[in-house]
Structure 1
C-alpha cells in the first residue's frame, strides 16, 4: 500500500494509444486522473450520439454479433466514447472492467438484479439511500427475494447472518444521511469465505477516497453525477468489477435498457479531470464547517467520519485517503423551528437534493429516515450539508448570521 494516493501504474496502461513502456512510474491521483481522461491528440473524446452502426460486409456484422460487448456493435450497447470513459473509470477505481449506465440508481438496481434471485436471501445495510431501500422493499421483494436489513456496525459478525441461500451483501459506506462507516474489509472477508458476492455503493469514496478492491469488495457502484463529475449537471452511473462479473453485469444493463447519454458521458469525463482538486478543497471546507458547528450550543453532534472525534473517525483513518464534502449537523429538536427559519435566510447555500457540485447545498431531514437500526435520536433534528467550492469562512459567516438572527 502506498500513501498519499500514490500507486505504481505503467504509463502504457493509462496513456490511451501510447506505445508500450516496460518501466513503471509512481503516479499520484491527480496525475493519474489527467492521464486516464486525456486522448492522445485532444484533451477530450468526441461526443457520439450514435444508435446505428454501419458494417462494411456481412462477415464483419457476423463477427460483431458474436462479440456484442467487445466491439462497436449498436448504440444501445455503447460507443467508442462510452468505452473510453469506462476504461478511465475502471483504472481510477482500480477495477478491471467498468460498465456505464444512465444514472447512479441504474447502477444500483443493475447490480442488485444481477445477483438477487427469487427465493434467495439478500443482506442490505440498514442505512442505504432511500431509493435503494425502496427498490429492495418493493421490486425485489415483489420478485420473491428475501431482504434482510442489517446493522451498519455489524462488522465481522455479519457471518452470523450469512446463509447457504445468501446471494449477496449490499453495502453503502458511509451510510446515507447519518454517515456511519462500515467495517468493509471485515464484511467482505466474511462474505468471501462463504462464497457470497459483496456490492458497495462507493459514490462517497469514489476514485481515491476509498479503494473497495483493496478491501475485498466484488462489485462497486458509483453515481458519477455527484462528486465525480462535480457540476450538478448530469445523471450517470457506473459499475466497476473484475472480469469475472463484468459480462453478467453488462448483460443485465443492456437488457434493462440503461443506455448512457453521449453528452452526459462527455461531461462526466470532463468533470473527472478536476475531481482530486475539488475533493481536496471540499473536504477542507467540510472539516472547517464541522468544527464550527461542533462549538454551537444548539448542536448535539456533527456526523462526518473525516472529522476528528466524530462517529466512525477511527475506521475512516484506517481505511480511507479522503472523503466527500458531506456532513450532517444534528441540532437539538428544540432548535428545529429556528434552524428551518435560518435555512430560509441563507444566502450562499442552496436548498436542494444531491451533493458534490460547485454550490453548497442544504437539506433538512424533515422526517427521520425509516430504519431498524441506526435510528435518528428523538432529540435530534438533522440537516445535511454538501460543501461546494465557496470559501469556508464565507459559508460559516452566512450560517452564523442566519442562525443568530433566529435566536
Structure 2
C-alpha cells in the first residue's frame, strides 16, 4: 500500500491494487477511506512555508483548491496504480472533458487529428467543431483497415484517437498494430478506454500514449457522478497536467470520493455484468428476431479473436441488430422492457437499452457492414447491470412478443 502503510514490495494483483490504491496513511489517517476535503483556500503556517510550496505545486502538495486535496490525489494515484506504464493521472469533470483536455494537450493549430470512424458521437462533434475552431483538421479513418492506416497519415498528422471497441457498433481494432504504425510516423496515440478500463485492456502496454476513461461509467458504477480521467507515461503526463491547470479543470472532492468508493468494487461488478451480458448475448443469438449480436467477448462475434488476444476482460455493454424490422418495431420492443431503463450512459448497476442508427454519422467505414442483409440496420445497445440474469432474459422475451404485435 502507498505511503507509510506496510508494503512488501511484491507485485500486487489488480483486485489488491483496486482495494488499496491511493490509501496513503497521511491522507486516510486512522480511517479506511480518505476524508472528503472540501476547500478552496489552503492555509500556510508562515510565509516561508508558502514560498516553499510555490516550488512544489503538484499532486500531494497543498497550495490552492484548484490543485486538489487528498481526496482528489487519492483517486488520481489509485487510477495510476491500475494503469500499467502510467506515470500519473489527471482528473476532469466529465469523460468528454477528459477527451477534450487530452487532445488539447497534444494538438496545435495546423495539426491533423485522425479519429476512428466508430467514435463516440461527442468525440466526433468535438473533432469537427471545437478543434476545428482552434485550427485543427480532423480526418476520420476505418479502424478495421489496418493495412490502409499508414496511408491516412500525412506530414501534419499529430495524433490519432482510438476507441476500442466502438461503444455503439463494437468493432475491435488491432490497437498494437495501429499504434506501432503511428509511432513509426511520430504520431501520438490516444484511446478512449472506457469500455474495458485498464482491468480489461492495459492501453499503455498495448502501445497507446494516453489512456482516457469516463469515470462516470464503470469506476463510479452507480449512475450518480460525472468524472473523467487521462493517464499517461512520463513523456505526456506533465503536458496533460499543465494543460488541465491552464484550463482551470478541477473536480469536486465529493465526486472524487464517490469514484474512490466505486473503484474498490469495480472488478467484481465488471465480472458479474460481463457474465450476465454473455448469457444474454448467447440467448439473443438464437432468437429469430435478431440478425446479429455484436459482443466482443462472445465466441463467433465479430472481433472476438482480437479481443481474446489483447483483452483480459470485458463489460456488460454490447449491441444487437434486429432482423427485417421497422423503427416502429424497435420502439415497441424498447418501450415494452420493464427491467431496462431507456437512457444514455452505461456501466451503472442498472440495465439500460438504447436504440441507435450509426449510418448517418459514418464517413469512412461502411454501415451496415458488407455481407449483411439490406434490412439489418436497426441497432439496440444494451448495458447489462447487476439484476438477475434470468429476469433480464425474460424481460427481453416478453418485449419481443410485444414488438411483433401490431
| Superposition deviation, residue 63 in structure 1 | 2.4
State yes or no: 1:50 paired with 2:39. yes
| Superposition deviation, residue 215 in structure 1 | 1.1
Match of 1:389 in 2: 386
Where in structure 2 are the equivalents of 1:279-358 lying within 5 Å?
279-358=270-349
Match of 1:404 in 2: 401
Residue by residue, what CA displacement relative to the aligned partner does 1:96-124 show, whole Å, maximum 9, x if unpaired? 21111111111100011111111111111
TM-score when normalising by structure 1 = 0.92
Where in structure 2 are the equivalents of 1:254-265 lying within 5 Å?
254-265=245-256
Residue by residue, what CA displacement relative to the aligned partner does 1:354-376 show, whole Å, maximum 9, x if unpaired? 00001100011156450113343
Match of 2:5 in 1: 18
Where in structure 2 are the equivalents of 1:5-404 lying within 5 Å?
14-19=1-6, 21=8, 23-25=9-11, 27-36=12-21, 38=23, 40=25, 41-70=30-59, 71-94=61-84, 95-155=86-146, 157-365=148-356, 368-377=359-368, 379=375, 380-404=377-401
| Superposition deviation, residue 400 in structure 1 | 0.4
Q: Distance in 1 between matches of 2:256 and 2:46?
A: 30
Q: Distance in 1 between matches of 2:164 and 2:403?
A: 34
| Superposition deviation, residue 315 in structure 1 | 0.6
For the 8 Å contact 2:88–2:237, the answer to whether it is kept is yes
For the 8 Å contact 1:171–1:200, the answer to whether it is kept is yes
Say what the alpha-carbon RMSD is for the aligned residues: 1.6
Residue by residue, what CA displacement relative to the aligned partner does 1:233-262 show, whole Å, maximum 9, x if unpaired? 100111100122112111111222221111
Residue by residue, what CA displacement relative to the aligned partner does 1:296-350 show, whole Å, maximum 9, x if unpaired? 1121101111111111101100000111211111112425322311211211111
TM-score when normalising by structure 2 = 0.92
Distance change (3 Å), C-alpha of 1:367 and 1:128: closer
For the 8 Å contact 1:224–1:238, the answer to whether it is kept is yes
Distance change (3 Å), C-alpha of 1:182 and 1:100: same
Q: Distance in 1 between matches of 2:365 and 2:290?
A: 19
SS in 2 for 1:394: helix
SS in 1 for 2:199: coil
Q: Which runs of 5+ in 2 are unaligned?
A: 369-373
SS in 2 for 1:302: strand
For the 8 Å contact 1:37–1:273, the answer to whether it is kept is no
Q: Distance in 2 between matches of 1:333 and 1:17?
A: 62
Q: Distance in 1 between matches of 2:191 and 2:397?
A: 37
Q: Distance in 2 between matches of 1:319 and 1:107?
A: 24
SS in 2 for 1:266: helix
Q: Distance in 1 between matches of 2:284 and 2:187?
A: 41
| Superposition deviation, residue 217 in structure 1 | 0.9
For the 8 Å contact 2:284–2:293, the answer to whether it is kept is yes
| Superposition deviation, residue 74 in structure 1 | 1.0
Q: Distance in 2 between matches of 1:37 and 1:67?
A: 20
| Superposition deviation, residue 187 in structure 1 | 1.1
SS in 1 for 2:382: strand
Q: Which runs of 5+ in 1 are unaligned?
A: 1-13
SS in 2 for 1:232: coil
For the 8 Å contact 1:298–1:335, the answer to whether it is kept is no
Q: Distance in 1 between matches of 2:147 and 2:325?
A: 38
